[in-house]
């Protein structure tokens, strides 16, 4: 009982009280309907952002260096609430003897951190292993290695279904739990794709046999690989969906073992899991969170991640934000502590600025997190002088992170949805080999960068955007629901929909494909407005992209763009069209660079008009002016709208016009420096109000609230 009181006291230091989390969880707060009352509750019980620093083994193994680290944090009060200690600095699993040797040191370091007022826990870097590194000093023995479909192996990663691996993992988590951490994190090595030098796993003999028993037919590794990549489409998709479920349950079994092991020693101890986009694994985050909570509904933490490592690629921040938005979208409501991974691997200070580091944390809260986990300090046992300016800047940024988390909470983003589902990977490479990469449906990233709002679930979609074969992974109910609302589709997706029997609802068919010398010209249509007659040339000779040409198949279709050649003579009457079907749904077919090269004035203006039309003016907000912006819109309580807006450009954004679907005439705007401005609506644009925002500095985020 005393241990439970102490742990709850430690947890209450951060964003929400442990009592609140446990009460909500115990009450069965798993129901996923986003009622206004529920979303309000999700916002109000998060008082501040969850902030953590992840500390490499070289910095805590040396007691003097760890004391220097604590002094650094003490000198910048509020910069972090948690100090999380990695078990190792290399990525294969450690020998059990090393874990047992380090556990008492970890216990001592965590006690020292708590004495300074920080919560402290352990991040097990390798449960099954990431990839090949430091193999002479890593776990070895009679373990099955992660095996790919061709029989190649990763020598630094173990099969997650091997009973001997399970026994090792149970011993590791038992030792770590006995060190009395405030929480334990499972790292993102618990996955089935990307264990260098292989990609997909695990296809060891035992895993193939396990799947064969599920499928009710015999398989060898070779015949299974062949069956997943060839043959009749329907049978191939059926087998792939079954394989994704096999993968989901593989990870679920491992988490069940970890949960039982840890909670038998430390009942109620929070368990956290770090993720990336996990399409090959079946994206079963909601189920895995429930498994980690266990029968006693213990607290679960989450850490969405991805790679963004240097200033030269600032656009990676927005791409990662959308990855993170997906990773958060399906989590049960009782998961409150969602700390984005902000990593600067290989931790060389000149590669990433302090500003970009703080910006990442803010943007990832905008896309769905409630805090951040900084993995940005040295990976060596060396003085921390070069990191002091970084820590100072992150201290200055902390109040804005708190404001974001408190305002946005766990309310979902509303806007344009990319159409992804848990089974999306089943449609990967539908016409051939399955194992062609764990591609995520990122086709909307440039659309979102025009200032149109992002959404990460169908339930919160004003418009759904489908590309290529991804519709093959959807159920008939999912397709039908979207086609009764508003959808934006490219040529290959239109063809698949028509083949699947939805032609009566799409209004068009593909009438041909051209790969060279196509130019889009906007027609004299009311939705094109002042940009009618303008052209867009994607230069197919440079940036290869096939153009789909469309033929109407129903009465009532309308053309918004045609195709012309370099003499500006028409070569096809329609490459962009709209249709309202008999069930009230609205469809836009986009054949010319539907996902790229959208950021000139005419095309971005056309897109915004189209998205308003498709949504029947249910888009919650959008940037009406010509600025490179990323926008996330939430409804944290009934009658309120919160907007996070990123200037994703190196120019200051002046005169940004933001249209918000509201009847309110003023907006409170908060900048990253904490300054607030009250902005009055300039004119109504029913059902929207137009707000002209103060200048937004380059690559900065603002928070609006109406």
pLDDT score recorded for residue 307? 84
Q: Please provide residue 577's backbone torsions phi and psi, each rounded to the nearest 5 degrees.
A: -145, 165
CA-closest candidate to residue 13, choices 83, 86, 88, 93: 83
* Integer Cα distance of 329 and 331 in angstroms: 6
pLDDT score recorded for residue 558? 98
Contact (Cβ atoms closer than 8 angstroms) between residue 401 and residue 364: no
CA-closest candidate to residue 641, choices 625, 660, 654, 658: 660
pLDDT digits (tens, 9 = 90+) for 193-250: 999 999 999 999 999 999 999 999 999 999 999 999 999 999 999 999 999 999 999 9
pLDDT score recorded for residue 18? 35
Domain 2-30+47-138+162-193+269-408 shares a fold with domain 411-454+617-706: no
* Integer Cα distance of 357 and 360 in angstroms: 5
Mean pLDDT lowest among 28-32, 47-51, 580-584, 642-646? 28-32
Q: What percent of the chain has pLDDT over 90?
A: 91
**Token code pair at residue 433:** 């080999």
pLDDT digits (tens, 9 = 90+) for 310-337: 999 999 999 999 999 999 999 999 999 9
pLDDT score recorded for residue 669? 98
pLDDT digits (tens, 9 = 90+) for 533-588: 999 999 999 999 999 999 999 999 999 999 999 999 999 999 999 999 999 999 99
Contact (Cβ atoms closer than 8 angstroms) between residue 216 and residue 195: no
pLDDT score recorded for residue 151? 97
H or E segment at 78? none
pLDDT digits (tens, 9 = 90+) for 72-130: 999 999 999 999 999 999 999 999 999 999 999 999 999 999 999 999 999 999 999 99
pLDDT score recorded for residue 414? 98
**SS3 state at 266:** coil
CA-closest candidate to residue 11, choices 208, 270, 381: 270
What residues does each domain of the chain span? 2-30+47-138+162-193+269-408, 411-454+617-706, 468-594
* Integer Cα distance of 31 and 27 in angstroms: 11
CA distances from 134 to 88, 164, 375 (A): 11, 21, 21
* Integer Cα distance of 574 and 511 in angstroms: 9
Contact (Cβ atoms closer than 8 angstroms) between residue 18 and residue 298: no
411-454+617-706 classified as CATH 3.30.1490: no
CA-closest candidate to residue 206, choices 247, 147, 129: 147
* Integer Cα distance of 70 and 62 in angstroms: 13
Residue 500 has pLDDT above 80, yes or no: yes
- Return the DSSP state at 531: G
pLDDT digits (tens, 9 = 90+) for 344-378: 999 999 999 999 999 999 999 999 999 999 999 99
Other beta carbons within 10 Å of 610? 22
pLDDT digits (tens, 9 = 90+) for 374-397: 999 999 999 999 999 999 999 999
Contact (Cβ atoms closer than 8 angstroms) between residue 486 and residue 463: yes
- Residue indicated by tokens 């912006």: 629
Residue 26 banded pLDDT, cuts 50, 70, 90: very low
pLDDT score recorded for residue 646? 98
What is the residue-averaged pLDDT of the chain? 93
Residue 678 has pLDDT above 50, yes or no: yes
* Bond from prior residue into 687 cis (ω within 30 degrees of 0): yes
Provide the sign of the torsion angle of the four alpha carbons 238, 244, 247, 252, taken in this order: negative
pLDDT digits (tens, 9 = 90+) for 282-314: 999 999 999 999 999 999 999 999 989 999 999
CA-closest candidate to residue 591, choices 697, 663, 510: 510
Rounded to 5, what percent of the chain is helix, strand, coil? Answer: 35, 25, 40
352 dihedral zone (left: phi>0; alpha: psi -120 to 50; beta): beta
pLDDT score recorded for residue 111? 98
pLDDT score recorded for residue 437? 78
pLDDT score recorded for residue 683? 82
Residue 159 has pLDDT above 80, yes or no: yes
CA-closest candidate to residue 575, choices 567, 585, 564, 584: 564
Taking each helix axis from N to C end, the angle separating 163-177 and 96-115, rounded to the nearest 10 degrees, works out to 30
Q: Which fold has domain 2-30+47-138+162-193+269-408?
A: TIM Barrel (3.20.20)
pLDDT digits (tens, 9 = 90+) for 560-575: 999 999 999 999 999 9
pLDDT score recorded for residue 441? 87
Those residues whose C-beta lies under 8 Å from the C-beta of residue 322, and which sit 6 or more positions away, are 367, 442, 444, 445, 448, 454, 456
pLDDT score recorded for residue 439? 75
pLDDT score recorded for residue 685? 82
Could you please report the per-residue DSSP string of 640-693? --EEEEEE-SSS-B-S-EEEES-S-SEEEEE-TTS-EEEEEEEEEETTEEEEEP
Residue 16 banded pLDDT, cuts 50, 70, 90: very low
pLDDT digits (tens, 9 = 90+) for 402-439: 999 999 999 999 999 999 999 999 999 998 899 987 77
pLDDT score recorded for residue 440? 80
CA distances from 301 to 331, 340, 568, 607 (A): 10, 11, 57, 38
CA-closest candidate to residue 273, choices 265, 262, 67: 262
Contact (Cβ atoms closer than 8 angstroms) between residue 237 and residue 427: yes
pLDDT digits (tens, 9 = 90+) for 40-49: 444 458 999 9
pLDDT digits (tens, 9 = 90+) for 69-87: 999 999 999 999 999 999 9
When comparing pLDDT for 16 and 504, which is higher?
504
CA-closest candidate to residue 152, choices 195, 209, 185: 195
Taking each helix axis from N to C end, the angle separating 388-408 and 354-366, rounded to the nearest 10 degrees, works out to 10
Q: Please provide residue 300's backbone torsions phi and psi, each rounded to the nearest 5 degrees.
A: -120, 135
**271 pairs with which residues across the strands?**
184, 300
* Integer Cα distance of 58 and 102 in angstroms: 12
Other beta carbons within 10 Å of 158? 29
- Return the DSSP state at 412: P
Contact (Cβ atoms closer than 8 angstroms) between residue 576 and residue 643: no
- Return the DSSP state at 535: E
- Residue indicated by tokens 């990855």: 323
The pTM of this model reads 0.93
pLDDT score recorded for residue 436? 84
């Amino acid at each position: 009982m005393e241990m439970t009181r102490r742990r709850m006291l430690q947890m209450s230091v951060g964003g929400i009280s442990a009592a609140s989390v446990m009460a909500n969880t115990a009450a069965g707060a798993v129901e996923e309907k986003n009622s206004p009352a529920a979303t309000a509750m999700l916002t109000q019980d998060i008082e501040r952002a969850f902030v953590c620093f992840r500390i490499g083994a070289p910095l805590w193994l040396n007691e003097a260096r760890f004391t220097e680290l604590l002094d650094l944090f003490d000198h910048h009060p509020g910069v972090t609430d948690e100090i999380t200690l990695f078990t190792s600095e290399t990525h294969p699993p450690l020998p059990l003897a090393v874990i047992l040797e380090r556990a008492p040191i970890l216990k001592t370091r965590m006690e020292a951190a708590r004495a300074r007022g920080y919560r402290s826990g352990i991040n097990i870097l390798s449960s099954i292993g990431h990839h090949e590194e430091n193999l002479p000093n890593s776990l070895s023995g009679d373990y099955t290695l992660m095996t790919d479909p061709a029989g190649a192996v990763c020598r630094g990663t173990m099969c997650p279904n091997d009973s001997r691996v399970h026994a090792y993992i149970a011993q590791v988590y038992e030792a770590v739990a006995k060190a009395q951490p405030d929480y334990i994190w499972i790292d993102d090595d618990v996955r089935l794709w990307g264990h260098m030098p292989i990609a997909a796993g695990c296809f060891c003999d035992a895993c193939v046999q396990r799947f064969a028993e599920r499928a009710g037919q015999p398989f060898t590794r070779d015949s299974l690989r062949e069956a997943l990549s060839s043959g009749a489409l329907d049978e191939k998709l059926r087998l792939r969906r079954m394989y994704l479920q096999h993968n989901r349950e593989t990870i679920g079994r491992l988490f069940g073992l970890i949960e039982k092991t840890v909670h038998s020693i430390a009942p109620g101890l929070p368990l956290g899991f770090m993720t990336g986009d996990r399409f090959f694994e079946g994206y079963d985050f909601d189920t895995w969170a429930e498994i980690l909570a266990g029968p006693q509904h213990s607290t679960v933490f989450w850490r969405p991640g991805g790679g963004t490592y240097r200033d030269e690629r600032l656009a990676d921040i927005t791409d990662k934000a959308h990855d993170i938005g997906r990773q958060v979208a399906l989590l049960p409501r009782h998961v409150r502590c969602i700390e984005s991974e902000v990593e600067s691997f290989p931790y060389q200070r000149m590669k990433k600025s302090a500003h970009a580091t703080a910006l990442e944390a803010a943007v990832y809260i905008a896309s769905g997190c409630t805090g951040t986990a900084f993995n940005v300090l040295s990976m060596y046992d060396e003085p921390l002088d070069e990191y002091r300016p970084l820590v100072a800047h992150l201290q200055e940024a902390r109040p804005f992170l708190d404001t974001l988390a408190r305002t946005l909470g766990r309310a979902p983003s509303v806007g344009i949805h990319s159409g992804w589902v848990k089974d999306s990977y089943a449609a990967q490479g539908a016409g051939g080999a399955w194992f062609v990469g764990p591609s995520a449906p990122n086709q909307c990233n440039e659309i979102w960068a025009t200032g149109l709002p992002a959404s990460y679930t169908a339930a919160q979609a004003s418009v759904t955007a489908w590309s290529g074969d991804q519709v093959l992974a959807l159920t008939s109910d999912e397709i039908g629901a979207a086609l009764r609302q508003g959808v934006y589709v490219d040529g290959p997706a239109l063809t698949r929909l028509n083949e699947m029997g939805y032609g009566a609802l799409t209004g068009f068919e593909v009438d041909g494909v051209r790969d060279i010398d196509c130019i889009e010209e906007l027609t004299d249509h009311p939705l094109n407005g002042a940009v009618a007659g303008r052209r867009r040339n994607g230069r197919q000779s440079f940036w290869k992209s096939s153009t789909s040409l469309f033929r109407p198949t129903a009465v009532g279709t309308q053309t918004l763009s045609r195709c012309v050649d370099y003499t500006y003579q028409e070569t096809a009457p329609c490459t962009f069209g709209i249709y309202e079907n008999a069930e009230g749904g609205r469809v836009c077919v986009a054949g010319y660079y539907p996902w790229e090269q959208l950021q000139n004035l005419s095309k971005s203006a056309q897109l915004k008009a189209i998205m308003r039309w498709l949504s029947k003016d249910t888009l919650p907000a959008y940037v009406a002016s010509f600025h490179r912006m990323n926008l996330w819109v939430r409804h944290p309580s009934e009658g309120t709208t919160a907007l996070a807006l990123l200037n994703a450009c190196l120019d200051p954004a002046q005169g940004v016009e933001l249209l918000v679907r509201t009847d309110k005439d003023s907006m409170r705007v908060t900048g990253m420096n904490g300054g607030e401005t009250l902005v009055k609506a300039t004119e109504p644009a029913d059902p929207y109000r137009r707000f002209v925002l103060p200048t937004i500095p380059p690559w900065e985020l603002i928070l609006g609230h109406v």
